[in-house]
Chain A
Amino acid sequence: MSAIEALYIFDEHNNLLLDHVYTGRPPSPNVLLPLYLAHASPRPSLIYLPNTNPPSLLHSLLQDRLLFLSPCSHDVEPLLVAEFLHRVADALEDFLGSPLLASKIEGSYDVVAQLLGEMCDAGIVATTEPNPLRDVVEAPSWMKSLLGSAGLPSSSPALSGPTSTPSFLPPPPPPPPTSTTAPPPWRRHNVRHTSNELYVDILETLSATFSPSGLPLCASASGTIAFTSKVSGIPDLLLILSAPGGGGITSVFENPVFHPCVRLARWRDRPGELSFVPPDGRFVLAGYGADLLGREYLAELGKGVDPTKAQARLGLPATLHVSTALGSMGDEFEVRLSLNPRFANAKGGAGASAAAFAPSLGTASGGFGGGNGGRPKPLPFAMATKADSANPSLADAVVRVPVPPGVRNLVELKVNRGEAVYAPGDRVLEWRVGQKDIAALLGVGAGVATLRATVVGMAEDEEPADDSGGGMTGMKGETWEYDDAAPMGAYQAASTRKGNEKDMKVAAEQRDAKAVRKNALLMPSEATLSFRVKGWLASGIKVERLSVDTKASRGLGAGVQPYKGVKYLTVSDEGIEVRC
């Protein structure tokens, strides 16, 4: 099966950047683009187009605002094509530099053409690993072109960075005998670096969902270990990871995926130890998922979990709470952002202030508080001895509240910190709390910022007349007295607590009640929180040791001790979601 028939790349204005036909006679890009755009955004990654000639499956990928399309006239595994498109994007990024820009592709069509030719041979996916690609395709090197135009000979291969095909290099300076051994397939030949460096970057993307009562429903982090290796020869590395708690690394490192270079047997026998011969340059060593609540949490949920405690266990840097249908007309809502004092900026006193945050939780009405940072495990304090991870800093907190389509405007937008942005007609209210505000908030100690807004619905004339009887739609809540139901679980009670029927009955005035009911439709149903924390990982994973096995490595040179760096970063990209 020739999986890939053609590859078309469009820039952000949907102009054709490139078309590369691999095999067959696929429909032309001009035909496919309108058909693709005809689908509503977000467009599915696989679309079937019965009306093209031949009828085609259209695979698509949007990366860095570039659109990759690949048509296929028969049934092939869609994941294969999707993965291929990702690899193409990655390879282009690797060769042309990140972020991938249209101008970069336009500037080096010759390189792109060679790459595309190597990556897929007449429809069969061939070489996609960046390192072997470097062996056969020369990366555009600005250094070279600079030197070239200056009329200087670029004789030193080390200068031109990732160099060309080894067989065609000018005779290299007599290599040390050890470096002649051929590397594994994922590693480039003859790697030489003047400065030997190794970097481990662990990035976790946090996602957590909270019920209206503040109870965490799920919380997980998906982690990626990116590794940058700039070491000469063929190094053999050992990376040892550790996790908090007694469960060992496997308790947090769930369903890992590894780069082919990782010795799986070693991991299986001794979890936490990654032994590998890295490719040259930056690559993703492993990916994993971590369930932050533990596997038994769902079972616990049935027995009733205290929301405050559950939140404390999570120890997130920041949490949200949304109250809706406030005010006499029920047209106001409030978002409360609580910061965890442990994530104050790297000041000496930050660690100490962690002990003092307990009183500040007094505001915890409705079981919601300042997002207690004290993990039950002694880990945070153990970490406090280290410089960087001891004072993880929270930054770029952004709260987004999706606004229902019925809302015409938000008025009386009040925030006590940060900056809230909303223009009439927007579908999202954005509230940014910058670095300074965060520092100020945490300095005060309370660590709680609030936003309050009032919704305004569509103009009156668009609504049915008020005297028609039953509000806008639906049935009258008052006549409803269905009694056939089984008792609801505690959770339901909590979640329907905010249901408007009860409020309505309490409401003295019928007119107000009506307004409340009407406004209930205009209330946001969730809010999300984004932020990034440097020097902290939600899962608590740590790099214990990174060592070069000098016996197994080759060509490293005697006594070379590579520089090693470790970085932790936790990101929530609208990952924290609070229902209301």
Chain B
Amino acid sequence: MPAFAGSATARNLTLEAARDASLAGRSSARPLPVQQLKKLLDSRNDRDVLEGLRRVISLTYTRRAPTLPLFSSVIKNIASPSLEIKKLVYIYLLHHAEAEPDTALLSINTIQKSLSDSNPQLRALALRVMSGIRVPVISQIVSLGIKKGVGDMSPYVRRAAALAVPKCYRLDPGTGPQLVEYLGTLLGDREYFVAGAAVAAFLEVCPDRIDLVHMHYRGLVRKLVDMDEWGQLATLRLLMVYARKCFPRRTRRVRRGGESTKSKSVGRGFYDDEPTEEKEEDDNDSNYEEVVLLDPDLEHLLNASRPLLQSRNSAAILAVARLYFYLGTPPYLQSAIGPLISLLRSPPDIQHLALHNIVQVCLAHPDLFVPYTSHFLLKRTDTPSIQTLKLELLTLVFPHSAPSLQSLILAELSHFAKSHSTALVRASVRAIGRCATRSTPATASRCLHLLLAHLSSQDTHLVAESLEVVRHLIQRDPHAHVSTVIRLAKNLDGAQSAQARASIVWLVGEFAALVPSEEFIAADVLRILVKGFADEQVGVQAQIVLLAAKVYLGFLNGRKVEEGERERGATSSPLRDPEAGGLDLPGNEDGGFRDRVSEAQSVGPTAEGEGQKHAIELLWQHVLLLARYSTSYDLRDRTRLYRALLSTPSSTELASLLLLAPKPVPTIPSPSESRKGYVLGSASLVVGDEGGVGGLRGYEALPEWVKEGEEPDPRLRDEAGSGGRTEYERNRIVPASEMLDTAAADRPVAVKANGVRERNLDDWLAEGEEDDDDDEEDEEDDGTEEETETEEDTSEEEGEESSSEDEGERDRLVK
């Protein structure tokens, strides 16, 4: 949530300063020597002990000095009646128990005693700490402690028990079976925040035991709205997997029109009480459409999670969107799009993560995002990664948007193509290219025009990048772009960037092979280029050599065809052909071999035959010669390869195969396309293939829909087992806040004289319901217990809290 800026008044600031000063004074920066610390810890004065502990904790955190030597002195205070001291000792214990297992074991007894303390918070704390001590030998004790906690009256303790389960499991996986049993009980806990914690623990310990979930499925779905955010996240995760494993995807072909209502599930009278609704999915079939039949239980889940789309927790919003994406029907997904977009209001770190997910949804359903296009416009304050993702979204939306919107997107892209950041220029130009490939020919040519306009820019990056994309576009449909290539070739004189020149030369070469009429241009281009060969950069030189090879090959092939025709027409000798290279053939071949032996000799024969040769042949020879003296060995290598390939003018098959191979049409996938396989919301999706194929460690793909007939019996989800509870649960479908409302209206003044403080929302709600007497009483007992405890404790507490000298004195006397 954004912080509220500028609300600090002068008064606030003054207070701030005062507080800061006093804080700084409380635990001064100068560390005390170990001896003195020990003395503080061993002191009988609570205030000194507290001070000592504070210093020890500070040291532990800053790692300025080792605090392990103080272990026994600290642990000694675990039995202190003061809660504050206890808490700090616990913190220290959790930090260091692993290093000093034996001494830590000594403290277990005291902690265990606290498990039966009358104060629920202390019990919960003790359970949390005991399970957190990483000493494997105590696993059985912890397990027993959890068992006790599961049956505790106080929901706080039950929650602590749920959270302790994974810790105990990590300590000793052998306790697994017992733990799973506890979890089974906890999953059905009627308290929202116990159930949420139980689900989180369940996911960690035994995520595959969905058989445990059946019974609690409906209960969990009902509690979903009222759980805390983290419980909601865990539950949504569990239920998504559960749904895939338990609800087969049923579809039905229905005649288009009003008939769909008629086809209500026939054989499912079991769920008569719940509404069955069919959602429609568009299908290409004109008369029939595929209708997804949602299992009523699944639909219950989808509807119950809808309020979470207004959660302030971005992860919860995404989790619901994920649920709708993988389980729901289009109308559900549609309702999640707006909330997804609302994530763009969050701080940049969350925005970035959310955008990755939005892009994935957009890849699957781009049309849904069209109305939100203006949210994807780039801002200057966006981080580069956010900008790239937004560009991608713009291109994904592009083909589906109206022409006016398309103009806007193109203008936007072309603005950023002129920006000063190289990465952004590249991303935007590529984005224009993607727009071009994904739309109608008219729009595509508009994109192409835009790119070609960039070619006259002064910005090297922009020119090179634009040309690259133009090349891709031309390659997709070469025959339509002959004139474009001619234009490009004409601009070769002006193009300065090596990459751009190389790109153009390559294109010309490619067209020399494709379009016979292009021969003239290609040869001419080659002639002009050869003149400045020496001044070109290596990359361009390589392309020139390649172009020469292609032109020469084209020439050879053309001659062969001519010869073949002539042979067929008149059986005259082929040698009479004025352009015939037949005579030079051996010489040429020799030259090829010879120059491996001696470079100097090869000049002779090439120079000799000049008179009779066709210009193209001469050009080829010349290029070979030029390249031979290049300093780049790569270039020389390439040249040698081409020469060998083309050394026999009569057999050009191999050369044709190599040089004129049809190039695969370059596809320009959206950058995030490669992440399509990852489940929404996962870290693998954000990291991408960098994390290794198949996702990061711990990544779990979504299970496939269970096959029809293999799903577990739906009756398992019946809550018959819970007996009378069902009636009670039924009443609580309404969200807590609503109940609050009604309960408050029913009983304007609560008269509860016994001073119960430890009750929570649920009990509060239950007040309005007289049928829940048992629970009520339990809680009251609990409350009174605690009350007495409070009395005892506070007298001690007071002393320590006030930290005053005489209070502390009295405290000592009490002890």
Contact with B along A523-551 (1 / 0, CB 8 A): 00110100010000000000000000101
Rounded to whole Å, the gap between the CB of A127 and the closest CB of chain B is 8
A521 to B801, CA, bound (A): 67
Which residue of chain A lies nearest to B200 when distances are taken between CB atoms in the complex? A124
Asked if B458 lies at the interface with its beta carbon under 8 angstroms from chain A, I say yes
Asked if B730 lies at the interface with its beta carbon under 8 angstroms from chain A, I say no
Q: A255-B342, A474-B457 are in contact. Are A485 and B448 (CB under 8 A)?
A: yes
Rounded to whole Å, the gap between the CB of A387 and the closest CB of chain B is 20
A287 to B350, CA, bound (A): 15
Asked if A170 lies at the interface with its beta carbon under 8 angstroms from chain B, I say yes
Would you call A284 and B312 a contact (CB within 8 A)? yes
Interface centre among A165, A275, A473 (most CB of B within 10 A): A473
Rounded to whole Å, the gap between the CB of A273 and the closest CB of chain B is 12
Picked from B54, B338, B383, B683, the residue with its CB within 8 Å of the CB of A76 is B683
Q: How many residues of A contact B (CB 8 A)?
A: 180
Interface centre among A260, A287, A552 (most CB of B within 10 A): A260
Would you call A474 and B459 a contact (CB within 8 A)? yes
Picked from A77, A291, A518, the residue with its CB within 8 Å of the CB of B458 is A518
Within residues 129 to 177 of chain A, which ones have a CB less than 8 A from any CB in chain B? 129, 136, 138, 140, 142, 144-149, 151-155, 164-171, 175, 177
Would you call A579 and B415 a contact (CB within 8 A)? yes
Would you call B408 and A574 a contact (CB within 8 A)? no
Asked if B529 lies at the interface with its beta carbon under 8 angstroms from chain A, I say no
Given contacts A79-B315, A184-B736, A480-B455, 17 further A-B contacts (CB under 8 A): A57-B696, A80-B233, A109-B54, A128-B230, A148-B803, A153-B798, A168-B793, A180-B757, A181-B750, A183-B761, A236-B740, A287-B312, A474-B457, A475-B455, A484-B445, A496-B453, A525-B420
Asked if A220 lies at the interface with its beta carbon under 8 angstroms from chain B, I say yes
A258 to B791, CA, bound (A): 39
- One of A203-211, A331-339, A417-425, A436-444 at the interface: A203-211
Would you call A473 and B497 a contact (CB within 8 A)? yes
Within residues 199 to 258 of chain A, which ones have a CB less than 8 A from any CB in chain B? 201, 203, 205, 207, 209, 211, 217-218, 220, 222, 224, 226, 236, 254-258
Rounded to whole Å, the gap between the CB of A478 and the closest CB of chain B is 9
Contacting residues, chain B, for A77 (C-beta < 8 A): 233, 237, 315, 318-319, 681-683
Asked if A45 lies at the interface with its beta carbon under 8 angstroms from chain B, I say yes
Asked if A366 lies at the interface with its beta carbon under 8 angstroms from chain B, I say no
Contacting residues, chain A, for B61 (C-beta < 8 A): 17-20, 109, 112-113
Question: Can you name 12 A-B residue pairings with CB atoms under 8 Å?
Answer: A55-B697, A77-B315, A77-B681, A151-B804, A257-B339, A265-B738, A289-B342, A476-B494, A484-B449, A489-B403, A525-B419, A532-B6
Which residue of chain B lies nearest to A79 when distances are taken between CB atoms in the complex? B315
Would you call A474 and B497 a contact (CB within 8 A)? yes
Rounded to whole Å, the gap between the CB of B358 and the closest CB of chain A is 12
Would you call B381 and A573 a contact (CB within 8 A)? yes
Asked if A346 lies at the interface with its beta carbon under 8 angstroms from chain B, I say no
Rounded to whole Å, the gap between the CB of B810 and the closest CB of chain A is 11
Contacting residues, chain A, for B795 (C-beta < 8 A): 170
Q: A180-B756, A265-B738 are in contact. Are A75 and B791 (CB under 8 A)?
A: no
Within residues 307 to 334 of chain B, which ones have a CB less than 8 A from any CB in chain A? 307, 310-315, 317-319
Would you call A126 and B163 a contact (CB within 8 A)? yes
Would you call B167 and A48 a contact (CB within 8 A)? no
Q: A42-B383, A48-B691, A151-B804 are in contact. Are A525 and B415 (CB under 8 A)?
A: yes
Contact with A along B456-499 (1 / 0, CB 8 A): 11111001000000000000000000011001001101111100
Picked from B403, B415, B697, the residue with its CB within 8 Å of the CB of A74 is B697
Rounded to whole Å, the gap between the CB of B270 and the closest CB of chain A is 30
Rounded to whole Å, the gap between the CB of B447 and the closest CB of chain A is 10
Contacting residues, chain A, for B448 (C-beta < 8 A): 484-485
A145 to B349, CA, bound (A): 38
Asked if A27 lies at the interface with its beta carbon under 8 angstroms from chain B, I say no
Would you call A104 and B2 a contact (CB within 8 A)? no
Asked if B660 lies at the interface with its beta carbon under 8 angstroms from chain A, I say no
Q: How many residues of B contact A (CB 8 A)?
A: 182
Contacting residues, chain A, for B697 (C-beta < 8 A): 54-55, 73-75
Rounded to whole Å, the gap between the CB of A484 and the closest CB of chain B is 6
Asked if B748 lies at the interface with its beta carbon under 8 angstroms from chain A, I say yes
A486 to B497, CA, bound (A): 28
A79 to B236, CA, bound (A): 14
Q: A45-B352, A90-B1, A291-B374 are in contact. Are A222 and B345 (CB under 8 A)?
A: yes
A218 to B411, CA, bound (A): 13
Asked if B638 lies at the interface with its beta carbon under 8 angstroms from chain A, I say no
Contacting residues, chain A, for B493 (C-beta < 8 A): 470, 476, 479
Would you call B696 and A298 a contact (CB within 8 A)? no
A142 to B7, CA, bound (A): 21
Contacting residues, chain B, for A479 (C-beta < 8 A): 490-491, 493-494
Would you call B374 and A82 a contact (CB within 8 A)? no
A303 to B394, CA, bound (A): 21
Contacting residues, chain A, for B794 (C-beta < 8 A): 168-171
Asked if B119 lies at the interface with its beta carbon under 8 angstroms from chain A, I say yes
A128 to B459, CA, bound (A): 51
Asked if A101 lies at the interface with its beta carbon under 8 angstroms from chain B, I say yes
A477 to B494, CA, bound (A): 9
Asked if B753 lies at the interface with its beta carbon under 8 angstroms from chain A, I say yes
Would you call B744 and A82 a contact (CB within 8 A)? no
Within residues 129 to 171 of chain B, which ones have a CB less than 8 A from any CB in chain A? 131-132, 160, 163, 166-167, 170
A472 to B497, CA, bound (A): 10
Rounded to whole Å, the gap between the CB of B313 and the closest CB of chain A is 5
Contacting residues, chain A, for B368 (C-beta < 8 A): none
Asked if A53 lies at the interface with its beta carbon under 8 angstroms from chain B, I say no
Would you call B686 and A78 a contact (CB within 8 A)? yes
Picked from A122, A520, A551, A574, the residue with its CB within 8 Å of the CB of B166 is A122
Asked if B564 lies at the interface with its beta carbon under 8 angstroms from chain A, I say no
